[in-house]
Structure 1
């Protein structure tokens, strides 16, 4: 949207949207009734509206409505990011305050949406203890568990989770289903935003839906590390419309503002080797031949080494090498395949695991962009 404007005009519009978005925090459901391009935080979605002193016992919230705009259940803490007693450090990238969910604890909020529409929740989430932690996200009747044991970025991770609204008012719930030895252990949530998504369709020139990943979740303010798309996301409710995250680990949705993106405004980064796979099911004609083309590269984020992306289409496959110096190069590749059914699955994953040259604690990988499938005419 802003790329077609002059630089000073783009700055003005971005500033205006920023003001509107933060005004929404204090305006209950106003921000959820605006056009979807203006939907940012849920009411008090960044948890910067402070609880009353009488509703806090040190860091523990006391009372079901102790957290403004939210309903809480169980042991829920209101914390400030940074160094903590006992030598711990809580990363809070989106503001100052965050929520920590103890054993079986949850926070929830009712929001107004459009029945039948597809939405993506975007939120900061990370584990706070050494044990494996899980964050359960639900908008009934849909629910999903996000495994948080893998730390993709030492400064905290941002996730997106998709759902399709069944009614005009839905309840968003974040729940810690685990039981740890320390009841204070549990996932940390530091911001929650929502965006309506518009499911793309294939075209005459390309059988792939959302081929350049331009339609995707909202990127929170200050999200410079991209947005993780959780594993096992089905295409009907995926936060990346048209695509299935079918792997055991997440893939990362990245933008051109903070990363090197070969085409357009967005791409995906395959951050967890063979455990980070993305797929789509295409309508094809049996025995007809097609050509799959795609672009791979590095995100100019310090991810380096000998990369390789493997692509599958039906029974055919290709492995494309790419030598990354972490400075933003890319190359194109192709695969000719014959459809054996009326539906053909195309899948992409990274062969190897990678970390950043200046941060060995952060997972990264090759970038995938501009996926196209066309029939071969003779």
Structure 2
């Protein structure tokens, strides 16, 4: 497992500025992968010299333009997508102004990697909506991870700002940034057949085509907007991983969540209930067919009830159905899913059980007892 002491913070600044506004659709921002290059006269070696040298972006501070395979000393600087990325040195910023729809929720997905600094921090900012994205663990062997963060637009223009507040002795030891994308989030509603919103996880952050490592969804305060509508991720520093069917084994549909942080992170949703009424939660537990061989245990909690579901993973895909019956004790009930153990793939990266198709229904007490007994 690759570890570091870095912490990455993500904020968003909403506002109006003088530069041209990019009209965006779901996917990469204009030049979001930095493949449109600065002119040779706007580079001093790798250092970008002009404020508007990188097409579609505005920069300030020590910003470098990095090509795939470029070296820093003996260290190779990989690029996850395409041929180029940017590196943000001390107090460096890149930003882009985009047009959005008021009162609409959006998710930003971006890729980042640590280079030679050991305590890097990154601010991705938008005013009015802000959140902290602490990142202390690398989840891929390449060192690149993709992260998601969500906001609700209060204006029709958003300044998306990515800033490195670091002050390293070597200004060229900042983080690499690549593949910045946006996605409009819908707000799934509960239905008669499922009291949970987005129980199948089909609504979530943008996943880059061809990306095999999924998207990390960070912990968030209860009043934050979630890249996984309906769900909260509760932890101090750890994340869950959003995975897709083209690159992982998913029990149902096209998306699921991999619990990669053990007991240090919980996936939960709060739902309206009637005290004294009986409820049943069902869900799939499986593996993502990513080589994670382990005896996995997912624990489900609701009201005063809990249930462990054990799944023996061979790392090649598969799943089983879990169930939790409980009696509500309040008008609001939190349903929680949590992996009970840490797991690691042979390459040293963290992995865990996949959960999917989480459903909650109200049941008559007699029916609940009969179903529990298999009648």
TM-score range, shorter chain: 0.7 to 0.9
> What's the offset of the Cα at 1:182?
2.5
Mind listing any 5+ residue stretches in structure 2 that lack a counterpart?
1-19, 366-375
Q: Output the CA distance in 1 between the equivalents of 2:77 and 2:134.
A: 18
Q: Which residue of 1 aligns with 2:345?
A: 356
Q: Output the CA distance in 1 between the equivalents of 2:86 and 2:302.
A: 43
Alignment counterpart, residue 201 of structure 1, candidates 183, 189, 203: 189
Tell me, yes or no, if the aligned pair for 1:134 and 1:145 is still in contact at 8 Å.
no
Q: Which residue of 1 aligns with 2:267?
A: 278
Is 1:325–2:324 an aligned residue pair?
no
Q: Output the CA distance in 2 between the equivalents of 1:211 and 1:233.
A: 20
Q: Output the CA distance in 1 between the equivalents of 2:151 and 2:132.
A: 13
Tell me, yes or no, if the aligned pair for 1:127 and 1:148 is still in contact at 8 Å.
no
Alignment counterpart, residue 169 of structure 1, candidates 137, 157, 162: 157
Q: Which residue of 2 aligns with 1:74?
A: 61
Q: Which residue of 1 aligns with 2:255?
A: 266
Q: Output the CA distance in 1 between the equivalents of 2:111 and 2:333.
A: 35
Alignment counterpart, residue 219 of structure 2, candidates 225, 228, 231: 231
Q: Output the CA distance in 1 between the equivalents of 2:268 and 2:322.
A: 17
Counterpart secondary structure, 1:54: helix
> What's the offset of the Cα at 1:234?
4.3
> What's the offset of the Cα at 1:296?
0.5
> What's the offset of the Cα at 1:363?
1.1
Alignment counterpart, residue 181 of structure 1, candidates 158, 169, 172: 169
Tell me, yes or no, if the aligned pair for 1:76 and 1:106 is still in contact at 8 Å.
yes
Shift of the 86–100 alpha-carbon distance from structure 1 to 2, 3 Å rule, reads same
> What's the offset of the Cα at 1:67?
1.6
Tell me, yes or no, if the aligned pair for 2:135 and 2:238 is still in contact at 8 Å.
no
Residue by residue, what CA displacement relative to the aligned partner does 1:100-132 show, whole Å, maximum 9, x if unpaired? 111221111110000000101111112112512
Q: Output the CA distance in 1 between the equivalents of 2:274 and 2:222.
A: 23
Tell me, yes or no, if the aligned pair for 1:226 and 1:255 is still in contact at 8 Å.
yes
> What's the offset of the Cα at 1:317?
1.4
Q: Which moved more, 1:233-242 or 1:210-219?
A: 233-242
Counterpart secondary structure, 1:374: strand
Q: Which residue of 1 aligns with 2:352?
A: 365
| Match runs of 1:1-378 below 5 Å | 29-30=22-23, 32=24, 34=25, 39-155=26-142, 156-232=144-220, 234=222, 237-247=225-235, 248-357=237-346, 359-360=347-348, 362-378=349-365
Q: What count of residue pairs does the alignment treat as equivalent?
A: 344
Counterpart secondary structure, 1:84: strand
> What's the offset of the Cα at 1:339?
1.3
Tell me, yes or no, if the aligned pair for 2:117 and 2:168 is still in contact at 8 Å.
no
Residue by residue, what CA displacement relative to the aligned partner does 1:242-263 show, whole Å, maximum 9, x if unpaired? 1111122111100111110000
Counterpart secondary structure, 2:28: coil
Tell me, yes or no, if the aligned pair for 1:298 and 1:324 is still in contact at 8 Å.
yes
> What's the offset of the Cα at 1:233?
5.6
> What's the offset of the Cα at 1:217?
1.1
CA RMSD of aligned residues (A): 1.7
Counterpart secondary structure, 1:134: coil
More helix by share: 1
Tell me, yes or no, if the aligned pair for 1:135 and 1:147 is still in contact at 8 Å.
no
Counterpart secondary structure, 2:41: helix
Shift of the 254–214 alpha-carbon distance from structure 1 to 2, 3 Å rule, reads same
Larger RCO: Structure 1 or Structure 2 (Cα < 8 Å, ≥ 6 residues apart)?
2
Q: Which moved more, 1:172-181 or 1:262-271?
A: 172-181
Q: Output the CA distance in 2 between the equivalents of 1:233 and 1:41.
A: 27
